[in-house]
Structure 1
């Protein structure tokens, strides 16, 4: 039988451009350059969306029935054209995977029925959206900077019905002064924003939580990092310097070293404790990220 074995046009091109005759001369960095990216891996510098979708799919296929229930009760999740995949017939994005994990973590310790909730730095409102869609809360106060409040107000107005939206209060940070009458909240949330605040601002917020809240959920990095390979410091070196000076935890660590991350956890729990009279009742890694940790505190003697 006459067999004809030859390279495809695709691989002829690869050999002309990347797998030339000197491909094996120097192996020092070959697994971090186009030789390996054409042979074994996709280049992460140009395939970020491919890797993000793979991560969303992997995480989504591991959801519990309770995670799925929270997601399915949360409507209009595709507003804004997020990067999504489909798992079990549902469109999933990383933001709402995060939200169902956050709310699930809180639900294990706190009864949210009828709760008064305050969130400091709500972004566009994903966690608020999921809580309001899954629980009959009394009040949900969003505290944020003016321009971010404009976004969260517009987003939540679109995704929630009138009855739920009317329970949300939008408060600019400038309004949190001595003139405002202190109010009690059953729960306060901060998700990945205190790490971007000046240390004195974080201390002021923790004091406010100590004064007005019964429980506090926090999800933030365990420390700072400098790893230019991740994004090439695309925002510039000034942005890196500003990031390093913010937050209550400013020690540098290797965020992709599990032992380094674990060693930083006690400092995280102490650093975000609102005051001496608060107990950390639950903590753990905030999946899927290597260096984000979450903790839930309760004020001693108060059980929301």
Structure 2
């Protein structure tokens, strides 16, 4: 018939470098080294952005109508050049997917109309951005380290209109004691920062929440983990040791075991409860991270 069946130039190269003549000799690491990364998978060490976009895409395609409504009411999400995909006709990044999940849980339990909200550790301000874009608040206070406050102040000034931005009060951590004795808030929020604080600092914040707030939303890891395969400890072992000593929950958890994560959830709920008279009214896994949990507490009156 005269047909010629042969490897492409691409696969000639793969056979020279990865699927070599001796590739079948030792199968011990076949599914986690360069052989399988060429046969079936993308190499995670070089395809992080590909995986991030795939994750964002699939989460975006599963968002509820209410989630999409909150996202669409949040303008200027493109500020800062996020890594995005396009779902349902909208550019979407993982940060605002997470914000939609967080605000959705809060919305099911708390009436935010006219509320005063405090956020401890706001990052660049994505959760604040979504809440102020979707609800008519009385005020929003951000408590954070001074350098981080500079970032959130600049970002929120860029993405919010003047009326909404003027509702935000930026408070540095060393100013907290002077401002809080008489202040009251309908909700406090903490997303992935108490786990990075010293245990004493976390206890101080929980006491502050107990004294000044009537509801508390928290999203943090259920414990600590030691897994060098995730990032090769690229920041050094000292960074790992510092991470292990912080937060209210310092027990090691297999973060890739669903039963281990769920078994750690009761300790999470107790560990972030501001005081005994606070009731956890909603909790569950914090998508998309396997080892994060979120919970909403209300103070009994």
Match of 1:234 in 2: 234
Match of 1:158 in 2: 158
Shift of 1:18: 1.1
Following superposition, which runs of at least 4 residues in structure 1 exceed 2 angstroms of deviation? 178-182
Match of 1:258 in 2: 258
Shift of 1:4: 1.4
Match of 1:171 in 2: 171
Q: Which secondary structure state, in structure 2, belongs to the residue aligned with residue 80 of structure 1?
A: coil
Match of 2:107 in 1: 107
Match of 1:280 in 2: 280
Match of 1:55 in 2: 55
RMSD (Å), alpha carbons: 0.8
Shift of 1:176: 1.1
TM-score normalized by the length of structure 1: 0.98
Q: Distance in 1 between matches of 2:19 and 2:275?
A: 60
> Alignment length, in residue pairs?
301
Taking the TM superposition and a 5 Å limit, the aligned residue runs for 1:1-304 are 1-177=1-177, 180-301=180-301
Q: Which secondary structure state, in structure 2, belongs to the residue aligned with residue 188 of structure 1?
A: strand
Q: Distance in 1 between matches of 2:52 and 2:178?
A: 44
Q: Which secondary structure state, in structure 2, belongs to the residue aligned with residue 108 of structure 1?
A: helix
Shift of 1:178: 5.0
Shift of 1:16: 1.1
Shift of 1:181: 3.6
**Aligned pair in 2 of structure 1 residues 179, 262: CA closer, same or farther (>3 Å)?**
closer
Q: Which secondary structure state, in structure 1, belongs to the residue aligned with residue 188 of structure 2?
A: strand
Q: Distance in 1 between matches of 2:26 and 2:105?
A: 49
Q: Is the 8 A contact 2:188 2:213 kept in 1?
A: yes
Q: Distance in 1 between matches of 2:127 and 2:240?
A: 27
Q: Is the 8 A contact 2:180 2:212 kept in 1?
A: no
Q: Is the 8 A contact 2:139 2:167 kept in 1?
A: yes
Q: Which secondary structure state, in structure 2, belongs to the residue aligned with residue 231 of structure 1?
A: coil
Shift of 1:2: 2.1
Q: Which secondary structure state, in structure 1, belongs to the residue aligned with residue 10 of structure 2?
A: helix
Shift of 1:179: 6.4
Q: Distance in 2 between matches of 1:219 and 1:145?
A: 19
Q: Is the 8 A contact 2:219 2:294 kept in 1?
A: yes
Q: Distance in 2 between matches of 1:200 and 1:46?
A: 39
Q: Deviations over 1:67-122 (max 9, x none)?
A: 00000000000111111000011000000000000000000000000000000000
Q: Which secondary structure state, in structure 2, belongs to the residue aligned with residue 268 of structure 1?
A: helix
Q: Is the 8 A contact 2:117 2:187 kept in 1?
A: yes
Q: Distance in 1 between matches of 2:179 and 2:231?
A: 43
Q: Distance in 2 between matches of 1:32 and 1:288?
A: 23
5+ residue gaps, structure 2, are none
TM-score normalized by the length of structure 2: 0.99
